[in-house]
């Protein structure tokens, strides 16, 4: 199984760039439960609270006892591939362009049957497999059968690579390469096989010695980009917009001010200008380019990544203005995601807890290192998810927020995490 080539073949300029097509994406509200888990990279299935029967496809009442008390629960995906076939004809444009396509029927150990996409590296039926949830190009959950042991490399399968945004062989813009997180992201993407990385540099007169060493990486090019300046964003989009396959927005302004602190208004404006308006400026200039190249061969435009913060979910008062700016960015990212998915481009948000950098100096451990954050970002691109909560603090907040958002608000208002 050959990896996708590091350097995609150059395109023939006299041929029309294909337009993106999307797989069927209508889902019932209850079926979106599958998507909600897949967005976090998890497989969850409905389970009956009364008779414990696992349900598939998602439904309103239990297929065994007709109880309506169905709840979503993580599933280990252990299953048997019972039958398989290869699809050679399809009316749907998306599949028609990609035929032949291997599909199969698996029987979960919980007894439900499901139709799945079958990974190239899975042997012939019958055999043991693991079922995973993934997001397709329309952002909806699909089920995959992969080998039962180890981590399945979706990129190794030419069809299932579509479910990922693998950075290998791709050209990537990292909007701020100077921050600790930005530097770590650039290095991690280089290691992950990115063909080209443009690292944005605002205020070039503020020299960061470590960031300067990024220039030593052969695939990295520092480019002027200040997301507070519409002109700067417009200029860079004009120069490289039509080349960018993945945009990673690391531009971030973090001030640790409570809302009544002196200077809070000016600091908050700067935070909003970078964290919210910066994203808006980038979206206006770069999103049309990404959408236009979403079907441009094996190294097509695939993803937009935002480094947000777990403080976007619920305000952390000691960092009150920062939390608000990240909440604004989260809301905007939902509008951008809706727009990008019309062309099959995925938007991934990362929600790290406190990062081990200057601005979270006074936060107690555990703190996420910039390297760990960058690693989580690469894993998200190589895999198939759109909401990433890296580290213990983020996982803990996510769980508490999902369980009782009001309780989390009260806990945070005590000034503690």
Partner 1 sequence: MKAAKKKRTKKAATKKVRKTAIQTANDHLRGWLQSLAASPRLRLVDLTQTLSPDFPPIVLPPEMGQCRPFRMEAISRYDESGPAWYWNNLSFGEHTGTHFDAPIHWISGRDLPNNSVDTLPLAHFIAPACVIDCSPQARADADFLLTIDHVQAWERRHGRIAAGSWLLMRTDWSKRSDPVAYQNLDETGQHTPGPDPDCVRFLVSERDVLGFGTETIGTDAGQAAHFKPPYPCHYYMHGAGKYGLQCLCNLDLLPPTGALVVAAPLKIREGSGGPLRVFALVPAPHRG
Whether 246 and 302 have beta carbons less than 8 Å apart is answered as yes
Closest approach, Cβ 266 to partner 1, in A, equals 5
Backbone angles phi, psi at 347, to 5 degrees: -110, 125
Whether 219 and 192 have beta carbons less than 8 Å apart is answered as no
Closest approach, Cβ 274 to partner 1, in A, equals 12
Which residues is 347 bridged to in the sheet? 304
Place of tokens 């206006």: 284
Binder among 4, 242, 270, 332 for partner 1 (CB under 8 A): 270
Residue 207 touching partner 1 (CB under 8 A): yes
Part in contact with partner 1 (CB under 8 A); list of ranges 107-115, 128-136, 159-167, 261-269: 261-269
Binder among 24, 158, 204, 297 for partner 1 (CB under 8 A): 204
Residue 362 touching partner 1 (CB under 8 A): no
Cα-based distances in Å from 64 to 34, 50, 60, 110: 20, 10, 12, 12
CA 377 to chain centre: 8
Three-state DSSP at 42 gives coil
Size of interface with partner 1, in residues (CB under 8 A): 17
Cis, bond preceding 366 (omega within 30 deg of 0): yes
Number of separate helices (H) and strands (E) present in the chain: 11, 15
Site string for partner 1, 37-66 (x = CB under 8 A): ------------------------------
Q: Which residue's CB is nearer to partner 1, number 78 or number 229?
A: 229
Length of the chain: 417
Site string for partner 1, 220-259 (x = CB under 8 A): ------x-xxxxx----------------------x----
Binder among 60, 203, 239, 399 for partner 1 (CB under 8 A): 203
Residue 297 touching partner 1 (CB under 8 A): no
Pairing outcome for strands 44-48 and 70-74: antiparallel
Q: Which residue's CB is nearer to partner 1, number 231 or number 406?
A: 231
Binding residues for partner 1 (CB under 8 A): 203-207, 226, 228-232, 255, 263, 266-267, 269-270
């Amino acid at each position: 199984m050959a990896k996708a080539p590091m350097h995609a073949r150059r395109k023939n300029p006299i041929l029309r760039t294909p337009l993106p097509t999307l797989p069927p994406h209508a889902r019932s509200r209850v079926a979106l439960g599958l998507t909600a888990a897949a967005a976090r990279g998890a497989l969850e299935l409905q389970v009956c609270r009364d008779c414990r029967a696992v349900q598939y496809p998602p439904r309103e009442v239990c297929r065994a006892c007709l109880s309506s008390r169905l709840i979503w629960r993580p599933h280990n995906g252990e299953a048997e591939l019972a039958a398989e076939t290869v699809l050679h004809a399809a009316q749907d444009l998306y599949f028609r362009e990609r035929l032949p396509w291997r599909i199969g029927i698996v029987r979960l150990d919980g007894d439900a049957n499901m139709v799945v996409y079958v990974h190239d590296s899975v042997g012939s039926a019958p055999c043991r497999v693991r079922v995973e949830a993934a997001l397709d190009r329309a952002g909806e959950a699909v089920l995959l059968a992969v080998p039962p042991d180890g981590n399945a490399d979706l990129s190794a399968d030419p069809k299932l690579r579509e479910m990922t945004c693998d950075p290998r062989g791709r050209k990537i813009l990292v909007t701020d390469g100077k921050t600790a997180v930005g530097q770590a992201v650039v290095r991690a993407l280089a290691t992950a096989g990115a063909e080209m990385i443009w690292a944005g540099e605002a205020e070039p007169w503020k020299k960061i010695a470590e960031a300067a060493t990024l220039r030593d990486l052969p695939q990295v090019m520092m480019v002027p980009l200040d997301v507070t300046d519409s002109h700067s964003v417009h200029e860079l989009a004009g120069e490289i917009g039509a080349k960018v396959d993945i945009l990673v927005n690391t531009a971030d302004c973090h001030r640790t001010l409570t809302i009544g602190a002196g200077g809070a208004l000016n600091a908050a404006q700067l935070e909003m200008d970078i964290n919210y308006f910066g994203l808006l400026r980038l979206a206006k200039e770069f999103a049309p380019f990404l959408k236009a190249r979403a079907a441009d061969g094996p190294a097509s435009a695939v993803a937009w990544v935002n480094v947000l913060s777990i403080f976007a979910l619920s305000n952390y008062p000691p960092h009150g203005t920062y939390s608000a700016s990240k909440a604004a960015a989260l809301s905007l990212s939902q509008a951008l995601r809706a727009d990008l998915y019309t062309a099959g481009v995925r938007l991934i948000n990362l929600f790290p807890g406190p990062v081990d950098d200057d601005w979270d100096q006074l936060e107690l451990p555990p703190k996420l290192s910039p390297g760990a954050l960058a690693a989580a970002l690469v894993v998200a691109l190589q895999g198939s998810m759109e909401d990433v909560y890296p580290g213990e603090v983020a996982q803990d907040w996510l769980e508490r927020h999902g369980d009782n958002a009001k309780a989390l608000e009260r806990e945070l208002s005590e000034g503690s995490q």
